[in-house]
Structure 1
Amino acid sequence: MTKKQFFFCLAPLAILQSCTSTPAETDPVNIALKSCGMGLSTQTTYIFKTAFAVANKKGGVEFSNTMNNSVDMQESALLKQLSDKSAESTKAILAEIKDVRECVIMQSAQLRPASRTELLERCREDLQQRISPRGNISYGTLRLWTQQRDDPRYKKDMPVMAGHFDNGGAGFAVKAQCDIRGGTLQEVIDLNPYE
């Protein structure tokens, strides 16, 4: 093989490596802002990032509502801060936020990694759905959902959970193992509640 042929064989490999070594964007707010058609201007990015941080810290199922309320608070703070600035620039910033607000909040909520508490709640909801599918008739609710750390099958990323299915009568015990590896609910494994 000549030097010229060797170079041509390695060239595609070098191009492939340079493409794959580019760091992928992982910040949910930055990704949301870009996909919603907005650049990363300093003030609007700050408002959404701060609102995201507040909602993420609070956690829970109401993430979008919390982030939305936090955007309101951040806008109020921005208005106070910009009170000495021109009314035109302030209106432009608020209009920019309004145009992409719903899109950014929705996408940020979808892109953010779920907390452990949220994953365990999704596990409970999955089991609840199996026992009493959504519809006109409800057969009861899975309550008292708690981790069973003393169970020998318990692992950090595969916790064993137990609860009581309340059907308005005596109800019954429920036990499951929630596979939450990789930060997503992979599987819910039914277990014998009396083992």
Structure 2
Amino acid sequence: MSALEASRNRRRRGRSAVFATLFLTGILLPGLMSGLGGCGTSGQEGKSAGPSPSTSAKSPAPNAQPTPRSGNGGEQGGSCPQILERMMKEYELRNEVDDLVHRLFEAMARGDLGTARTLVAPGVEVSQGKIAFQDVQGRKLEYTFPKEECLRLRGYTFSPDQSRAELNYENRRSEGRFAEIYVTVVRVGDGYRVSEILQ
């Protein structure tokens, strides 16, 4: 089994609504309840329940709005069902953007530039094995895709209006090296598209 197939199989497992519900209610909700002092605690709207981890020194976008972490859930108060509902929506959204990134890497590995062009934001140029885009300072940058990918999502965050997400991946290369990849996706119409990939 190739690394591409193994990555695809890992991604497909465990993403059912039943799994998500069990995971959130069995693991995250009890921790959230104790961290917030119980489900009924309303907390301050928009404030973090505790200190949030900061971006690593290697982060390519220090002036980006979102702060990387493993999700945004639990930052706002409310009842248990409200908190669970917010966390479930974010979990589904995280899966959607994660799947988008994997589909882009798979399309580029196959050389399917037509599919790849449908997965990137307007203004991103797709060519054989690489994409070109402009960063926030207007510099033109390129990302060259590895021949085989084995991506693992390490962290993510969404902007407050969920129009933008930043994802942090670990990519195990075929030669055994690991690389950190920072992917930014933006909402375009009713879906998301990859706008930049930095290493």
Per the normalisation by structure 1, the TM-score is 0.31
> Which structure is higher in RCO with an 8 Å CA cutoff and minimum separation 6?
2
Per the normalisation by structure 2, the TM-score is 0.30
